Amino acid sequence: MKKLSHLFTPLPFTVLLALCAAPVAHAAPEAPPTPIGVASFNMAWAGSQQDFDRQNAVCKSVSWCDTRPRREPGQASITEEANRVARQCAADTEKLFGGPAQQAMMAPCNAYQGRGAPVQLTSADYAAKLAGLQATVDGLVEKQGVRVIAFQEVRSAEVVRQVLGRHADRFKVCDAPHDGFQTVAFAWDSSLGSAPAVCSVEHGLAVSDNPQDPEARKVRPGLALELQLPGRRISFLNVHLKSGCANIVPTPTYQARLLDDRAGACQVLNRQVAPLERWIDSVAKGSPEFVLLGDFNRRIDEEAAAAIKPAQVRNDGSDPAGVPAPGADGKVATRYLWQELNDGSRTLQQVPLSGVEEGCRGFSGLDHIVISGALAARQPANLGSRKTAVVQLPGQRIETSDHCPRSVTLNF
């Protein structure tokens, strides 16, 4: 066999020395997680001082009547007399406010009255509520390091800036324009993200209370906040779903209801299911790490704890994976909200409630923080959220809020 050594030219010694000294390329270590405090806060008909003063002046004339028919304790259904009283109240206040569009942008007359007999409220009473909201938000920012807040039941971005108080210059704000008093909004630390944040409104959630009535009011839209963190996008989805169809476990006050219940509130919430799922799917495609939070007006924790089989999620027994097909009126076969959302085609995780501050009162089980599977993988196993008591003075006649803010620190 012939020798082949003559076919190879030896490398110079200096080249060999340089090759030996060259650094070996290694994959860049992943950046340490960034902890960010996140909160959801329903502020209970939070408008400006001017909003209240106008509403209060009109409502004095109608003795702060209730435009929503009341079901008294122990009654299985709302009586016709209660419906008549509510209709009369709606007609009277609509006339005084200047028409249906103007009435929709004001809080109802009983919004700040509590459960007892109407009382004479003053501007000072409402100023105390606003001061309580501001102090509560200040505590979230200062004591808990919250940097992203999802607000519900707020009139406008201007009101959010007011309750941010001394933090208003540090936070950016956006809201979802709506033809009703209540809408949703975000506030976020302006130092978050390597590019300007993007807010977008999800109008699909603003379904009509009555699809057969073109003049019927619409429920709240959704609002998304997108932040660009190093190497990836993070999205926050803020919801305030239809009230009145909350629980699957009966209580002395509320009967158990599924989403296919004939109650009007359940039918409205049912028609929000398909647009909610489509919205989540759309966001997840561009931002796998996302947070869904707000006032769900549904005990999804009760639903998650129940042994619901896939064939029970929809009343037609179909597979809950994917968006349910809506009928002509927008209703779907869905009976359980949580199992429909966490349907196997995506993975969602509820952040459990691990602590409630002493003095926290008001609604329970309605406000939730849900994270995507991709984001859940970055969190510690013992992740939990807490509810913080709102700030309220003794004898305060308009409560600061009937919801406690719920917060969690997430790793991003």
Provide DSSP, 140-170: HHHHH-EEEEEEEEES-HHHHHHHHGGGTTT
Query: With pLDDT > 70 as the criterion, what percentage of the chain qualifies?
Result: 91
Confidence band for 73, pLDDT divided at 50, 70 and 90: low
Q: Find the mean pLDDT for residues 155-180.
A: 97
Please determine, for residue 305, whether its predicted confidence score (pLDDT) is greater than 90.
Answer: yes
Q: Residues 6 or more apart from 407 whose CB is under 8 A from it?
A: 37, 38, 39, 40, 140, 144, 146, 385, 386, 388
Query: With pLDDT > 90 as the criterion, what percentage of the chain qualifies?
Result: 80
Q: Which two tokens stand for residue 9?
A: 């030219």
**What CATH number has the domain spanning 156-411?**
3.60.10
User: Which region among 22-36, 50-64, 221-235, 290-304 has the lowest average model confidence (pLDDT)?
Assistant: 22-36
Confidence band for 33, pLDDT divided at 50, 70 and 90: confident
Residue for token pair 């309220």? 392
Confidence band for 77, pLDDT divided at 50, 70 and 90: confident
pLDDT the model gives residue 29: 59
Strands, E assignment, 190-266: 198-202, 222-229, 232-240
pLDDT the model gives residue 5: 43
Question: Closest Cα partner for 104 from 22, 238, 226, 219?
Answer: 219
Asked whether the beta carbons of 396 and 51 are under 8 A apart, the reply is: no
Cα separation of 231 and 193, whole Å?
10
Q: Find the mean pLDDT for residues 72-96.
A: 85
Beta bridge partner(s), residue 369? 293
